[in-house]
Structure 1
């Protein structure tokens, strides 16, 4: 039986959580894993990408793939939601309502080391820097800052005034899921300037997100900040 990349990722995740591979330990190479699962090296590579996105493992060129030294089972319940079963953008989440955007920045630059590592791209691949204020029924809904590889798609002001996710789907991309960290922070000057808060120190809801396509390729690093007055997080948990 040949396994798909999600099944390989699930089994490797289970092995790490059960202690077969301990924090800081080198895991089997891709060829060995492919042999164990009767699958291809490409499938194994996609599976490992998912675990990298989740922050469970990391790859060191010339040395192999390791379990993160700071990984613990508790990481999976420390305010993190990963992956989402269905990833929707602001426009689709609020279907039937008026969703508009004010574009503050659309530029391109070379990624930082951390951005390149998280997006699994070469450090020479440019990334977009996108900053937008999103409005829901003409009221400030969120401030978004997004980093996206320019190699994924071509973005224009018209696209960014509408829905990036809808644009990606029209281009034939299938969005698989997201690794999210949800937290509460104190408002900064940027929050005041963008209408998210009225004063420094006011609480704001913050969602940091790394999203990926169905082939395991990350396509977006984003931070969204929401006014506390209309922020709500709903989660359905099945045991």
Structure 2
């Protein structure tokens, strides 16, 4: 389905990239944007939410929407979704292999201020706290720490032992994409306990991810740790 908000988001993104709105600049209010694009304020609001998720703009209550001061116009910008950023998950990534999970935690709590801002939810809306160790063919694949609004879906131990993304899709939710930061760190005690590393200080691949549905709603903040021995990132680049 083609959403109007995506068209508006594309146009705003292009205006920012071409310098129409400079880093730190206040953008027109949403009613004015709606008139400019010949659409509704709700559609503009969703488009702006998309750019907030991408780290391109931020909104201040009572002040308006601003281009982030740290936004850089280049091809490595965090806000660009590329194939490497698709949130396929362990099950989809390892089709044809046996993927299992050990549940470390499934609980709910009130989000932190930062989590609420990232997920675009009220700071009183509960979130799930999910910790799992994922195995592929009985070998440790990843340790996942995920924060997800409870309003998105109902999760159980049985669902966590399988595929969360598969469950969301079975409920008719369409996952649009994600934004990732890939880094490396030295293993700590938690990495030892979960089997990601054998020794303190060993290298660990870390992927921090914010994922969203096709209506622009963020649904997941996650941090995944991977053993260095069999972890690699593959990207196809077309110039």
> Matched residue of 2:229: which SS?
helix
CA-CA distance at 1:84 after TM superposition: 4.2
Task: Give RMSD over aligned pairs.
Answer: 1.6
Instruction: Specify the SS of the correspondent of 1:70.
Output: coil
Partner of 1:128 in structure 2?
128
- Could you tell me how far apart the structure 2 residues matched to 1:35 and 1:187 are? 52
Q: Distance in 1 between matches of 2:130 and 2:212?
A: 17
Corresponding residue for residue 158 of structure 1: 158
TM-score when normalising by structure 2 = 0.94
Deviation at 1:87, TM superposition (A): 3.1
Would you say 1:63 and 2:43 are equivalent positions?
A: no
Partner SS, residue 73 of structure 1: coil
| Correspondences of 1:1-239 after superposition (within 5 Å) | 4-74=4-74, 77=76, 80=78, 82-85=80-83, 86-239=86-239
What count of residue pairs does the alignment treat as equivalent?
236
SS at match of 2:81: coil
1:70 deviates by 1.8
Q: List per-residue Cα deviations over 1:34-83 (Å, max 9, x = no partner).
A: 11111222221111111101111111111111111222224x516x4742
Structure 1 stretches (4+) deviating beyond 4 angstroms? none
Q: Quick check: 1:58–1:68 contact (8 Å CA) kept in 2?
A: yes
1-structure distance, mates of 2:5, 2:237: 24
Change (3 A) 1:143 1:130: same
Gaps of 5+ in 1: none
